[in-house]
Amino acid sequence: GRTEGALRLVGALWRFWWAGAKGDGVDIVRMALRGRGGTADHRARAMVAGALAAASRLDFPAAVDLAGQAVAEADGPGARAFAHCWLGWALAIVCHPDTGIHLEQAATLAAEVGDVRTVADARNAEAYVAMRAGEPVDALAIAREVLALTATTGNQITRCHALTTAA
């Protein structure tokens, strides 16, 4: 019903909540999540949208919390890959030691279901982590892989981020 539709909508707009909606994104997502029902995967995707909305407001503790809830909620491999990817990104921003575990899980699950976009996003985060760790050679190699992946997906946001890592 209504809850499922709301969850699907906020989950589908995940990049918008991160890149475009600086104000009410977290509140809108939380409102959708308060509804009863909805599939576990749609709830997880909505939680990722909330995590990205929180990150856009520089509220990284909330981003980590919502992305962690998404990992716990996700049922199918595609939703699990997506949730692990964005939990990995949130953890990377705060330099958490578990970052790599989630990014590797995301890339593996996404590859298994043929989700090239999530593979690219997870690998892009790995390039970011490598660069922050002072490993520019590794970061550049991963960024080149991300550029090849995004050439097939048309994902310009991830492509631009990989280009800045490679520069």
pLDDT at 41: 95
The answer to whether the CB of 86 falls within 8 A of the CB of 48 is: yes
Please, which pLDDT band fits residue 25 given cuts at 50, 70 and 90?
A: confident
What is the average pLDDT across 138-162? 92
Place of tokens 């921003």: 93
Query: How does pLDDT run across 92-147, given as a tens digit for each residue?
Result: 999 999 999 999 999 999 999 999 999 999 999 999 999 999 999 999 999 999 99
pLDDT at 49: 92
pLDDT at 23: 67
Nearest to 55 by CA among 82, 79, 20, 31: 20
pLDDT at 22: 62
pLDDT at 56: 87
Please, which pLDDT band fits residue 20 given cuts at 50, 70 and 90?
A: low
pTM: 0.92
**Judging by beta carbons within 10 Å of its beta carbon (0-12, 13-18, 19+), is residue 7 exposed, middle or buried?**
buried
Query: How does pLDDT run across 46-100, given as a tens digit for each residue?
Result: 999 999 999 988 899 999 999 999 999 999 999 999 999 999 999 999 999 999 9
Q: Is 154 helix (H, G, I), strand (E, B) or coil?
A: coil
Structure token pair of residue 160: 């631009």
Please, which pLDDT band fits residue 11 given cuts at 50, 70 and 90?
A: confident
